[in-house]
Structure formats: structure tokens, C-alpha cells
Structure 1
């Protein structure tokens, strides 16, 4: 579950690393992206500030109207200030329109750029990273978190600046109107500052928890959609629905906690200023009654105070959104800050033909419990140039892991792997994966055409090579698809059978005629007749490459020149199929499925039993 993963939030800090997070420090990390739109942000903030300041001019005009034309009953003098109020309203509308228009398109580009950077980073990170993180967490970071950061730059950031300037200008204006009333209105400031600091600390934890739970919920939905056949086949849809409800209710409780925290803040930031404003009204009325203050000044003061309600009341909403944006920023940079495996800057040419060598190769998964032995504990193996080597071993012995080390899907924790004498760590990954093609036991296809899926193995391949690869994989079924090789196979290729997906994955591996080929039990989903046809075609391909083939069945083993037996993290024996059948009991057991060792001494029948 998410609570046990690396990216689960620390319950006290809202930060998975356990550090106390600063909202401002987190949001400042957006500056390298926001720098590109800093001019538009400045224009937007300026327009919004002028619009808000124009609202502060309204109380001044109202005060002049009360003390002037209304006090003198001069209707003719009333029209110019009324026209000025109308003009101020039009100016405010135009400025707010400008604020929205100047930011909409550039912030859309900024969000797209950040999403592209996140996606590119995910492609560069090692498989071990993706093993630790739920796919739903990545989806939520690429969608909802991006939206939160863009909206923060579009609205809360601008109005945190605008409202601060408006509030300060309004305070100055109120002090010039009546300093005694201004002091009364400012009395709630101290408790509000203390409350907002506490709110920020608590709300950041809850906001982080809600965003992580939203990622967990996305993972549940994704797994349910991709595994819908299994759920229906075993009648487990109710179980998964219950799991979904649990995750959904957990997120709901967190969102309600957020709403409760925000409601508490709003109750105070709305209530205290209203009480202070009521006190200021009472004192102001007393001053007017004793001729110490004009009615127009009191109206102007109260109108100014009312104009400041929005900057004050919006404080809770803006702080909440700033915390959510800061949390989204943290989650974005948690991925962007992940260290990438080192890669040589330039490709080195391979040496003389020497095939594949594993020398003292060790491996353990990063999250393996302390004290447990390495999965691979010193692999020494030489696959000669042009040779096909079959790799056999019991389930869980590390065969698939060993083959994954060759294209550096995982990094060996010790030892050395070479291709034709060149250490694979000296080759850029892009070049390495051009040299080494892989077909996995569990074939993965993408929502694309058959052509696009196959040519992922060699983007520059032509139609002849495509046809040859499909023929090798005995994928003649493609011709019967509605649009042939241009047929969309659908998400995960679920519109095809398991054997059809496996054959397309095999075609993808061989389409580029790679010098090194890794096949992880590539025929496991095929029927006996199709398997025989594919094996016959594969022999020709394997004759022109150096291959390492994970095998579980004797028919696959017979494709190889030699066989290596993997046991207890080491290569136990290497030889031809016949040699190992003769000399290696473990290999005989793997190939026969029966115990290879027999008790020493004669068999003595039990009494009364005929043998």
C-alpha cells in the first residue's frame, strides 16, 4: 500500500524525506520555469493592482459626494463624481480582463513544458525507480499537480502580491482619513498572523496527504482497468470495488479535514474583522454625533474598510492554494531530483568479436532487506561471438534479472559485463540498446499500430525488414487484421491474444537484426505447432547474432548451442544439452520436472507389495 512506499508522506511534516517544508522555499523552485513568463506575470500583477487600487478610489469619491453635493443639496454638482465612479468601474473591468488574457496562453505553454520535462525524466530514470513508485502517483504528478502549479501562477501568486499592495494602500488611506478608527480596524491583525502561521503548518501536511492518496486512487483505477479480464474471470470485481471505496473514503476524509481546517480559518478571518468594523462604526458614529468627524469622512472610511474585506477574506483561500501548489511543486521535484544513472558522453567502438562476458557479476535489488544474500552472487559466464546460449534455472533463481543487466535496465552491484570486450558502462545507453535487443516473457504493446509497435525495435527499418521480422515471428495473423500493419492494437494490445502479442514482441526484437539478442522465454504463450514454426525461423536469425535465451522447455533449449544452469546466484554448469543431461542432476531435474537423484543402494520392496 501507499503508506509503505517511498513516496508516502511523513505524517508530521507532509514531506516524504521527513524535512520540515517551507512553503515559500518550495514555491521558489518554480522560478526557473516562471522566468520565461516573468514579463507577462509583471503585466498581469500590475493590471490587477491598478484595478484593485481603482476600487480604493471609490470610497474617496463617495466621501466627497456626501460632504459636497449631498450636504449642499446641489444635484448639478452630483453628476461629475457619479461619472467618475462609472469610469472607475469600466477601468477596473478592463484591467481585470487584461490580467487574464496576458497570462492564459504563456502559462499553458509553461505547463506543457513542465509536463514534457517530467515525462522525459521518467524515461531516463532506471527501472528500479519505477519499481518503487506507483503508476498512479506518476499520473497524478503529470496531471493534477501540473494544473495546481499553473493555476497558482495564474491567480494566487498574482493576488498574493496584489492583495498585499492593496491592503497596505488601504491602511495608509484609512490612517489619513481617521487614525483612531484605523487603529480599531487593525486590532485583529496580530491574532490573524498567529492563526495563519499555524494553519499553514497543519494544512501543508493534510494537502500532501490528500495528493498522495489521490495518486493511490489513480493506481487502483488503472489496475482495475488493465486487469478487468482477470477481475471478471474470477468474479473479484466486488473485492476491487471495496478496495476502491476504501481508498476513496480515505481521500474523502482527508479532503474533509482540509475543508474543516480552512473553515476554521475563514471563521476567524471573516469574524474578527467584522467585529472590528462594527466597533469602528460605533466609535465613528459617536465622533460624528459630537462633530469630531464629518459624515462624508465616516462613509469614506467605512467604504475603504469594506473594500479591504476581499484582500483579508481571500487570505485563507490564497494560503490554502499556495500550500497545495507548494505540495505539488515538492512532488514534481521529488521526481526531477532523482539521480540519473551516469552515462558516457560518447560512444566507444566495440573490440574484436568476443561475445558477451559476465565476470564476477553481483546484484541485489535496492529495497532488499538487510542481511539477505545477493540474488546474483558472482556470475561468470562467456557467450561466444555468434553463439546462442540458453539460460535455465528454477523459478526465482534470477534468470530474468540477469538478462535485464545486459541492456542496463538494472545496474549490476558488482562485477563487469562486456560486449566484444567493451564494458557496457562505457557505452551510452542509447548505443547499448541499439546493440542489444530484448523480447520479454510478458509482452507489452502500446496504443499504436502494429507497424509502430514492431518498429520500436528499429525505427529506421523499411517495409522489407518489417515483413521479414513478422515472418520470423510467424505473425501472419497481421494480414487478417482490418487494416493490416496499420491496425491499432489498443491499450496493452488487449485486442490480441497472448500468443499474438508475444509474436509481435518477438518481431520487435529481431526487426533490426541486432548483433546481440536477449530472449526471455519468448515462446511460452505459443501452441506447439506455432512454436515449431517460430523455432525453425528463429534458427536462421540466431545464426547471425550472439544471443542469450531464457528457457524453461527442452524445445527452446534445443535452439541453443550451449546451456548455462543458474542456481544459488551462480552459474552451476555450462555445456551442451546432452552433456548436461548426462553430467548435471540439477539440469535433468529442470528438464524432466522429476527428481533427478535416486537413493543409493538396491530398492527393497515393502512387505506384501509387488514391485
Structure 2
């Protein structure tokens, strides 16, 4: 329940709405409790069921004073006129009762949706803050489900009952006070029955949270499956695997249907069970109360007032019952949200981190070793190399040799397990992480673009003029094709840039890297999977952007690395050869083998 209290602690940020809602609920409670019971003595006197009380009471009993004022109204106004004014009063009372009912909900709405806004914002910010290592063991669909469905479940299941949780005690307190005032013994008898009924209801729902957690996990599985299917449609259609995917989805969907039916049935049993138990309690109350009336230990009108007050307790109690079901269901979603929010990010700037945005002399790997989380095998081991300012360093090796890991360590996507990486002699872990990453321009094989315009994709995360954007596009050989698009730089390129060709997307990512004018470029397999013409344009763009910049290149193709100042050949996470192309090609070793096979992977 700690997560629930943390969630509810956010109410302090919406103090005004909360106070006004509590005030409205308090007034609603008053008008609810007094609306009918006050009419009982009036009609009893009006129809001569009880004698009028013409003399001002000497004591302070509320019941006597009510009888006195009702008697005075009937005597002074006459029965018909008194009835008229009481009816007017009744309309006014119910008007204000419903006015305060609405205002309680009105003031609660900003609180409910404000907390959800804050929760969703915090979760999204956390996604951006967490290191890449967190995502290695997470499903994308599950994370999307947490941000959307789980947050919505919290709103539906927990915050949706806040008004009843805060409103019900106020109404119940007023009604219980009224019941105790009427007959304390009868009140104690009733609440012994209510406690017994509550224990029965509690036993019905003790597994709801666990089952709700399973439901949300299945939703995450479905979301992941749909996301993978849409992303892999080309492969699915190419392999005629539609039926395979359909069968797989139907199996997961059927399991989800069965579990959801079970959970909903259990949840929906709350209201009937609580109503049945409530009716049972009321029935016993009617029997016992009538017995007291027959024995003349309780006046009939007082007993009916007691029954009415008890009914005002039953409805909020039913709300509490439903709230319990819903909160248990929502807690499963809240637990998943808190699991993400409570995940520590170890890759952050140290207190007093150094501000550094330029490369003066060199980047140095000093006996660097690295293991991925939950993996005992070294992805890089005992790597030492100097990358001087202005050099182009190429990384070659088979898949899994450690090339991508090498470049991922530079902007601290991961931190080294052993050794150090320094820039101008400063450990990169001592540099402010924002400054560190601004030193790098990154171009990857998978051209990662967003559902936005070309201009916004180019200036992504920065504030650049249109002229600067166009100049970067010219350097990347992208300006000509952009000008031919319907809206030029303001053309929306679609989801992941799929309205563009592979080469166009690649050149746009180069333009994005160039626009920041970084001192260091990382080109991670940037030219694989391109046709000859696209590769020529991209290669030309890369040669232009690498001028006067320090560049670390990972490539499949020989043409990308032939002009490198230093080539590092990696095998099993270790540098096994290094040097210039013309020297390495004459050595017997893996580099010569790669060149001969034209298999730079």
C-alpha cells in the first residue's frame, strides 16, 4: 500500500481543489442527513400523530426543538400554508444537496486528472532518463502498455474512487452520529451485523489484485505482439506467415479473454453481494426495531428516522466495497508503474561534474573492459587505444566482435566495467553527461527518424534557423531531394520516415548530425543496406562531414574504411590488429581475410 500512499500524497499539489471538494462533500452530507428526518416530526404533528409542542423547550434536545419550531409554524401559518412552506423548504434543501454533489465532483476532477497528468509525465521522463541497459530486458510493448493502459487503470480504478473514499466517510459520519443520537444500543447492534457482512465480502475478493496483475501482463503481451507484427509486416508477408501470426495472436487473445472474464465476474460480484448483505442487515434491523416499537421502547417516527439514517450509511458502505475491489485492481497497475519509477539510473552526471564541450588532443581507451548486465562474458576486454583529434578510426570485425559496444561506451550509453575512457585526459564519467553527448554526432545504419517534418527531424532537440538546416542538408547531399518534395523542408516524412527511401533517410540522419557541428562523429554501420547510387551519395556526404572532425566508423563495406587513419580489428571483444589499410592488407590476419571475402559485418 506504500505506492498508493505515495500516489495520494500528490493531493497536496492540488490543495485548493481538495479543500473545496471536502467542503462540498461536508455540505452534501449535512443536506443528505437532514433532508428527510426533519420532515418526520412535521408530518406527525400535521396529521395529529403526536401532540404539538407549543411551549419553548427548557432543555437542549434537538428533537424537542424541532417539534417546537414545527408546531409554531403550523399554529402561526395554518396547516395548508405550513405544508406549502415545508414543501418549498424541501425543494431548496434538495437543490443545495445536488448543487454540492456536483461541486464536489467539479472540484475533484482537476485533482484526479492532474495526478494522472503528473504520473504519466513522470513515467515518460523516466523512460528518457533510464540507461539503455534497462531496455535490454524489457519488452517495448510492455513499456507502452505501462504508460498508457496502466496509467489509465490507475485513473479508473484508484483515482476514480477518490471522491467516494473522501465523500463517503463524511456522509457516514453524519449519519452515524444521527443514529447514535437516536438510539446508541440499536446503532451498536446494527454495526455488529455490518462488520460480519464486511468479513464475508472481504473473503470474496482476496485474490483480485493478483488476477488483475495477470490481466495487465497479458495486455502488455498483446501490445508487444501487435507492435512486432506491424513492424515486421514485410517479413511476415514475404514468408507467408500471416496464419502463424494469427494463430499466435488468437491463443494470447483467448487467454486474455478467459482471464478478463474471470476478473470482471469477480469484480461485478461486489455490488450484488454487498447489496444482498445490506438487505439482510436491513431486514434484521426492521425486525429488531419493530420489536422495540411494539414494546414501546422506541417511537415509530424515531425508528423510521433511524432506518433512513442507516440507509445513508449503506450506500457509502457499498461505495467502499466497490472502492476496495477497484483499488485492488488498480494497485497491480500502480505496482508496475512504481517498478519503473523506482529503477535507479547509474549513468548520470556526478556532483560537480566538469563542463567540457570540445576535443583538444585525444580520446583514450585505457585497459577498458565491459560486460553487459546479467552477462558474465566480456563484450570488450583489455582494450587500449588512442584516437587523436582529427583522426578517422575504423572498426572492423564479425558480428558480436564488440564494434557497437566500443562506440556505445563513448557517449556513456553504457559505463565501462573496467578501465577508463578519457577525453583530453579527463575521465568521461567526470564530464557533465549533457556536455559529453553534445560532443558527438551519431549516424546509425537504422536511420531513426520521427513522425514529423524534415526540418524538425534535422533540428531534433535543438534550435536552428532554416538557413542552418538547409546548409546541413547540402553537406549531407540531401538538399536536392528535399526541394523536390511537396512542402520541401516542411514535408511530413511519416512514421519512422517511411515516406523516404533508405538512402534519403540515411542522408537526413547525416544532416541531423552535421547540424550540431559536433567535434566527434560516430558512424555505426552507416552505409550497409544501401544500393550503389545511394551509397555513393552517402559516402560523399560522409567524406565531407568527416573533414576536420574526429570520426569513429563502424562499417560493413571496404569503401567506408579504406581511407581511415587507423583501423582497429576486433575479435571476441579484443583488438587483434591495428594500422593502416595498406599495411594490414599485406599482413596475414583477420583483416586481410575480411577484405578478400568482402564480408565486413
TM-score interval (norm. to shorter): 0.7 to 0.9
1:284 aligns with 2:261: no
Q: Matched residue of 2:396: which SS?
A: strand
Output aligned runs, 1:431-510, within 5 Å: 431-456=435-460, 459-475=462-478, 476-510=480-514
Q: Name the structure 2 match of 1:270.
A: 275
| Cα distance, 1:130 vs structure 2 | 2.3
1: CA distance, partners of 2:156 / 2:16: 17
Q: Where does 1:516-527 land on structure 2 (aligned, <5 Å)?
A: 516-527=520-531
Corresponding residue SS for 2:35: helix
Cα shift readout 1:383-422 (whole Å, capped 9, x = no counterpart): 2221111100011212112111111112221111122322
Q: Which segment is superposed worse, 112-121 or 552-561?
A: 112-121
The answer (yes or no) to whether the contact 2:164–2:319 under 8 Å persists in 1 is no
Which whole-Å CA distance do the structure 2 matches of 1:462 and 1:276 have between them?
A: 74
C-alpha separation in 1, matches of 2:272 and 2:304:
26
Aligned counterparts of 1:489 and 1:48: Cα–Cα separation in 2: 52
Task: Output one character per residue of 1:296-332: Cα deviation in whole Å (capped at 9) or x when no partner.
Answer: 2232222222222211222221112223443343333
Q: Deviations over 1:551-582 (max 9, x none)?
A: 22211121312211000210001011121121
> Structure 2 stretches of 5 or more lacking a match?
51-73
Q: With the length of structure 1 as denominator, give the TM-score of the two structures.
A: 0.86
- Is the deviation greater in 488-497 or in 473-482? 473-482
2:339 to 314, 334, 338: 334
1:607 is matched with none
Shift, 1:282, TM fit: 2.3
Number of aligned residue pairs:
568
8 A contact 1:361–1:380 mirrored in 2: yes
CA–CA separation in structure 2 for the residues paired with 1:322 and 1:386? 60
> 2:91 corresponds to which residue?
86
Say whether residues 1:63 and 2:66 are aligned partners: no
SS in 2 for 1:252: helix
Residue number among 214, 233, 243 corresponding to 1:228 in the alignment: 233
The corresponding residue for 1:26 is 3
Task: Write the distance in 2 (CA, Å) between the matches of 1:39 and 1:322.
Answer: 25
Contact 1:347–1:426 (Cα < 8 Å) also in 2: yes
Query: 1:455-496 CA distances to partner (integer Å, 9 max, x unpaired)?
Result: 227x24444443343233332322221111111111111222
**Secondary structure at the residue paired with 2:378?**
coil
> Residues 51 and 95 of structure 1 are in contact (CA less than 8 Å); yes or no, is this contact kept in structure 2?
yes
Aligned to 2:29: 52
**1:57-456 paired onto structure 2 within 5 Å:** 57-72=34-49, 76=80, 77-105=82-110, 107-150=112-155, 155-179=160-184, 181-195=186-200, 198=203, 201-340=206-345, 341-344=347-350, 345-349=352-356, 353-368=360-375, 372-456=376-460
- In structure 2, distance between residues paired with 1:42 and 1:556: 67
Cα deviation for residue 522 of structure 1 reads 0.8
Q: Is the 8 A contact 1:352 1:421 kept in 2?
A: no
CA distance in 2, matches of 1:188, 1:285: 17
Tell me, yes or no, if the aligned pair for 1:67 and 1:295 is still in contact at 8 Å: no
Q: SS state of the match for residue 432, structure 1? A: helix
What is the DSSP-based 3-state SS (H/G/I as helix, E as strand, rest coil) of the residue aligned with 2:38?
helix
Cα 1:570–1:282 shift into 2, 3 Å: same
Tell me the distance in 2 between the aligned counterparts of 1:315 and 1:338.
33
Per-residue deviation, residues 518-553 of structure 1 (Å, max 9, x unmatched): 101111132223323432343233231111100222
Is the contact between residue 518 and residue 549 of structure 1 (CA under 8 Å) also seen in structure 2? yes
Note if contact 1:362-1:374 (Cα within 8 Å) is conserved in structure 2: yes
- Secondary structure of the equivalent of 1:437? strand
Whether the aligned pair in 2 keeps the contact of 1:403 and 1:548 (CA below 8 Å) is: yes
Contact 2:108 2:163 in 1 (8 A): no
Q: Does 1:592 align with 2:596?
A: yes
TM-score (norm 2): 0.87
Q: Is the 8 A contact 1:61 1:81 kept in 2?
A: no
Deviations 1:500-532 (A, max 9, x none): 222212222223332111101111132223323
Matched with 2:68 is none
Of 136-145 and 344-353, the range deviating more from structure 2: 344-353
